[in-house]
Amino acid sequence: MRLRGCQVSCIRGGRQVFSGLDFEAPAGEALAVVGPNGSGKTSLLRLVAGLLIPAGGSVALEGGDAELTLPEQAHYLGHRDALKPALSVSENLSFWRDFLGGDAGDAGPCLAAVGLGHATHLPSAYLSAGQRRRLSIARLLVVRRPVWLLDEPTSALDTAGQRLFEGLMRDHLKGGGIIVAATHMPLGIEARELRMGGPA
């Protein structure tokens, strides 16, 4: 399995963000997308996730499930934590499990894996920024998808949370998964770099 982009171009708001971009990420590897603000890191992730349409070129998951689109085989973890404040931690994760469908797991072990096993019945409105991020990361675990698209994934996480997430990323790669992460900070795992828009 391999995620491959060929001559990909992106236009937003009438401005060409990037053009002629080639990249690839084979199974078991991580690709760190780096570059200055405005260079198109987030736009690239959103394009791969199917939230933006490329102005040119193509992106495909070679060797993936032929019955599913690329977005249906990918998780997108953006800047914002997509949580409903009135729902409990467990209810939020169960919502995403049911909404995303596919190869779904039990919410309990996934919450324990991100260090929220003690807070399952707590309304998400009461969570700290770091805990909200951990709950968003649990979404990557409760429905298994081969491609993780991560936008500044360690934002709001403390040192312990970063170490925990590094372990989860390594486990995903060991299982043959693919990670594409836009980041200004070291991921904490081995990753090839895709540099956008000149020096960072």
Q: Is residue 176 part of a domain?
A: yes
Interhelix angle for 129-142 vs 159-174, to 10°? 10
Confidence label for 101 from pLDDT (cuts 50, 70 and 90): confident
What pairing do the DSSP bridges indicate for beta strands 74-77 and 15-26? unpaired
Interhelix angle for 89-100 vs 129-142, to 10°? 30
The C-alpha angle 128, 132, 134, rounded to 5 degrees, equals 115
pTM equals 0.92
Q: What does the pLDDT read at residue 103?
A: 67
Q: Is residue 153 part of a domain?
A: yes
**What is the pLDDT averaged over residues 4-30?**
94
Tens-place pLDDT, residues 142-199:
999 999 999 988 888 899 999 999 999 999 999 999 999 998 888 889 999 999 985 4
| Domain range for 153 | 2-195
182 bridge partner residues: 33, 151
Q: Is residue 142 part of a domain?
A: yes
Q: Is residue 200 part of a domain?
A: no
